[in-house]
C-alpha cells in the first residue's frame, strides 16, 4: 500500500484517508467513471449537468469555441474572474487552518489569482484599458458577496465553488486555451491562466503509484478522488453540492454579462 503525501508549505503532510484514496486511484477509467456515480463528485456531477450545458451555450463560450471571441470579451472575462478568484483564494487561505477538509483540498499550485492578474494586465495593455478606471460586473459583485458570506457562515461551501472552477479550468480549460491561442494569438505571458507550472512541485498518488510532477489531467482526477474521500457529514456533503450548483449559476450570470462584448 502506498502512502499519499501533499507537498504543502515545504512539508510533506500525510492525508487522512490513504487506503480509501488508493482504492479510487488504482481503478481503470471505466471502473472509475462507474464508481464516481455513487460519490460526492458523482452527486455534484448530476446536479450541475444542466447548468454546465446552459453555460457552455452562452454567446461568450460559443464565440470562443467558434474562434470568434474578441480581445475585449476575453479581457473582461479575465478581469471579472480575477476578482472572483482573488476573493475565494484569500477566503480559503483564511479558513483552511480551522477546517481539516478545506485544508486537505487547498493547493496553492492550482490557485489562479496571480495568473489571472498577469493575463488581465497583458490584454489591458494591448487594448489600452486602464484597469483602475473600470469596475467588476454586477454579477461579479454578487458572486463576491456570496463568497464573503460563505466564509463567515458556511466555509465548507467554499469547497463547492473552488472545485467547480478549478476542475473546469483543468478539464474544459484545455479546449478553451487552444481556441484562445488560435483566435487571439497572445504572447505566452498572456496565457498564464491555463498553465500550471507549479504542479511540478507536487507528488500525488496516481493509480496506486507515487507520481511526481503530475500533468493537469492527472491532477484533476486526483483532485476529485481527494474530495471523494473527505470525511464529511451528510449536511456538509449537501452543502458542497448546493454550493457547486450555486457557483455554476453565478458564473453563468457573469458569462451572460459578457455578451455585449
Binding site for ligand HEM (CB under 6 A): 45, 52, 55-56, 61, 65, 164-165, 167-168, 171-172, 175-176, 248, 251
Nearest distance in Å: CB 182, ligand HEM: 14
Nearest distance in Å: CB 156, ligand HEM: 18
Helices (H) and strands (E) in the chain, counts: 12, 4
- 18 vs 141, beta carbon nearer ligand HEM: 141
- 95 vs 227, beta carbon nearer ligand HEM: 227
- 156 vs 250, beta carbon nearer ligand HEM: 250
Nearest distance in Å: CB 52, ligand HEM: 6
Nearest distance in Å: CB 44, ligand HEM: 6
Phi, psi of 198 (to 5 degrees): -75, -10
Taking the C-alpha atoms of residue 172 and residue 168, their distance in angstroms, rounded to an integer, is 6
Kind and range of the H or E element at 230?
none
DSSP 3-state assignment of 209?
A: strand
- 16 vs 195, beta carbon nearer ligand HEM: 195
CA distances from 204 to 113, 144, 148, 201, 207 (A): 23, 32, 31, 10, 10
CA 48 to chain centre: 14
Nearest distance in Å: CB 252, ligand HEM: 8
- 134 vs 174, beta carbon nearer ligand HEM: 174
Nearest residue to ligand HEM, by Cβ distance, number only: 172
Q: Pick the closest to residue 40 from 193, 233, 257, 255 (CA basis).
A: 233
- Whether the CB-CB separation of 241 and 47 falls below 8 Å is answered with yes
Nearest distance in Å: CB 12, ligand HEM: 28
DSSP 3-state assignment of 7?
A: strand
- 193 vs 248, beta carbon nearer ligand HEM: 248
Q: Would you give the end-to-end CA distance of the chain in angstroms?
A: 53
Amino acid at each position: 500500500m502506498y502512502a499519499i503525501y501533499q507537498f504543502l508549505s515545504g512539508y510533506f503532510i500525510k492525508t487522512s484517508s490513504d487506503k480509501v484514496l488508493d482504492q479510487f486511484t488504482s481503478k481503470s477509467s471505466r471502473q472509475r467513471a462507474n464508481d464516481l456515480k455513487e460519490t460526492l463528485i458523482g452527486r455534484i456531477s448530476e446536479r450541475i449537468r444542466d447548468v454546465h450545458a446552459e453555460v457552455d451555450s452562452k454567446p461568450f463560450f460559443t464565440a470562443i469555441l467558434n474562434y470568434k471571441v474578441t480581445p475585449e470579451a476575453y479581457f473582461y472575462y479575465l478581469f471579472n474572474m480575477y476578482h472572483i478568484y482573488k476573493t475565494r483564494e484569500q477566503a480559503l487561505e483564511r479558513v483552511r487552518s480551522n477546517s481539516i477538509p478545506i485544508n486537505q483540498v487547498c493547493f496553492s499550485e492550482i490557485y489562479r489569482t496571480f495568473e489571472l492578474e498577469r493575463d488581465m494586465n497583458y490584454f489591458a495593455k494591448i487594448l489600452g484599458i486602464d484597469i483602475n478606471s473600470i469596475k467588476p460586473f454586477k454579477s461579479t459583485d454578487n458572486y463576491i458577496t456570496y463568497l464573503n458570506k460563505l466564509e463567515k457562515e458556511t466555509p465548507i461551501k467554499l469547497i463547492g465553488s473552488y472545485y467547480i472552477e478549478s476542475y473546469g479550468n483543468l478539464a474544459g480549460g484545455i479546449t478553451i486555451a487552444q481556441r484562445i491561442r488560435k483566435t487571439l494569438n497572445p504572447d505566452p505571458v498572456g496565457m498564464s491562466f491555463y498553465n500550471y507550472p507549479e504542479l511540478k512541485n507536487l507528488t500525488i498518488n496516481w493509480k496506486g503509484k507515487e507520481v511526481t510532477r503530475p500533468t493537469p489531467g492527472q491532477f484533476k482526477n486526483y483532485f476529485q478522488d481527494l474530495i471523494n474521500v473527505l470525511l464529511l457529514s451528510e449536511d456538509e456533503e449537501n452543502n458542497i453540492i448546493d454550493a457547486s450548483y450555486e457557483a455554476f449559476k453565478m458564473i453563468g450570470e457573469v458569462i451572460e454579462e459578457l455578451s455585449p462584448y
